[in-house]
């Protein structure tokens, strides 16, 4: 399979390096996702405060209903955009985090195939 102690040490070191890289990439991605979530939560909170002020200043039930309909539509659209963004970020995160591990798995399979 592998020739000598040095090959085994290098193979295992490369595996460990891949695991560390994957872990670091994953941690950084989770941090970015957290920032995105909290940023959206802050924007949503501000939006709710503005909506409350707007609703407090309406002059009729019809105006209130129209404003609420607009707020619901705007919030729904914002949530869809945010969901799409988080989904894309998650996909990039997972691909990036698993790439070093996948590369090492391929290297292990190649090593086994050469030994066979």
Give the chain's domain count: 1
Binning pLDDT at 50, 70 and 90, where does residue 111 land? confident
Q: Indicate the pTM of the whole model.
A: 0.76
Up-side HSE of residue 16: CA atoms within 13 Å toward CB? Answer: 6
* pLDDT(107) > 60: yes
pLDDT cut 70: percent of the chain above it: 97
* pLDDT(115) > 80: no
User: Which residue from 81, 104, 85 is spatially nearest to 93, judged by alpha carbons?
Assistant: 85
User: Which residue from 30, 40, 7, 35 is spatially nearest to 97, judged by alpha carbons?
Assistant: 30
Higher pLDDT, 115 or 2: 115
* pLDDT(1) > 60: no
Contacts 24+ apart (CB under 8 A), 81-84: 82/36, 82/40
CA distances from 60 to 13, 66, 69 (A): 71, 10, 14
User: Which residue from 40, 42, 38 is spatially nearest to 30, judged by alpha carbons?
Assistant: 38
* pLDDT(6) > 80: yes
- Is the Cβ–Cβ distance between 2 and 111 less than 8 Å? yes
Domain region containing 51: 4-115
Reported as a single tens digit per residue, the pLDDT across 45-101 is 999 999 999 999 999 999 999 999 999 999 999 999 999 999 999 999 999 999 999
CA–CA distance, 98 with 87 (Å, rounded to integer) = 17
**pLDDT computed for residue 71 by the predictor:** 94
């Amino acid at each position: 399979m592998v020739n000598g102690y040095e090959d085994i040490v290098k193979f295992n070191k490369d595996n460990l390096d891949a695991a560390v890289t994957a872990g670091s990439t994953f941690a950084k991605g989770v941090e970015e996702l957290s920032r995105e979530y909290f940023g959206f939560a802050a924007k949503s909170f501000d939006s709710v405060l503005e909506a409350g002020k707007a609703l407090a200043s309406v002059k009729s039930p019809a105006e209130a209903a129209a404003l609420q309909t607009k707020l619901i539509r705007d919030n729904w659209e914002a949530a869809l955009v945010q969901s799409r963004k988080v989904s894309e970020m998650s996909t990039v995160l997972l691909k990036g985090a698993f790439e070093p591990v996948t590369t090492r798995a391929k290297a292990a399979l190649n090593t086994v195939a050469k030994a066979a």
